[in-house]
Amino acid sequence: MKLEEVKGLIRSIPNFPIDGILFRDMTTAFLHHDALVCMKDELVRLYSDKGITKVVGIESRGFIMAPMLAAEIGAGFVPVRKPGKLPAEVIEEEYGKEYGKDRIQIHKDAIGPDDVVLLHDDLLATGGTMEAAVKLCRKCGVKRIYINFLVELDALEGRKLLEQYGEITALIHY
């Protein structure tokens, strides 16, 4: 399977979660073994030689590919979660998104100055969630940050918000 075929498996849902939002639903692509393998293989190709020590997945759909990628490239997996989901001491960042405000957290001891981090999420819209994740990683003093998405919504220009933080890749563009 090729990435263009994976794109064809992604469902578009108008007016979700609120009116005016066209939601790109990755779960319909995740249903297909060949689509998962295609995306995983492309991520491995992009990141296997970058010296990444931790793949940080953002709740919740970032948890699908990030652990698979971490295992394939010999890195650890670190979850970034919504408040109240992590049991140990956390650091937190608030951010705005296209339909409200939210917060994310990471375990304070999950990453540090020796880590090269790949931040991964399913979709780049306005970039607020990923920028908050970048700020969490920077607070932990990581060596280097890479940023990846499965899908990027180009018209929303979220990439512009993130370019200052490091290399950004997306597998599929709308």
Active site residues: 61, 98
Which residues have a Cβ under 8 Å from the Cβ of 16 and sit 6 or more positions away? 23
3-state DSSP call for residue 125? coil
- Token pair, residue 87, equals 């049991």
Q: Are strands 168-173 and 144-152 parallel, antiparallel or unpaired?
A: parallel
Question: Whose CA is closest to 140, among 70, 91, 103, 94?
Answer: 91
Contact 47, 75 (CB under 8 A): no
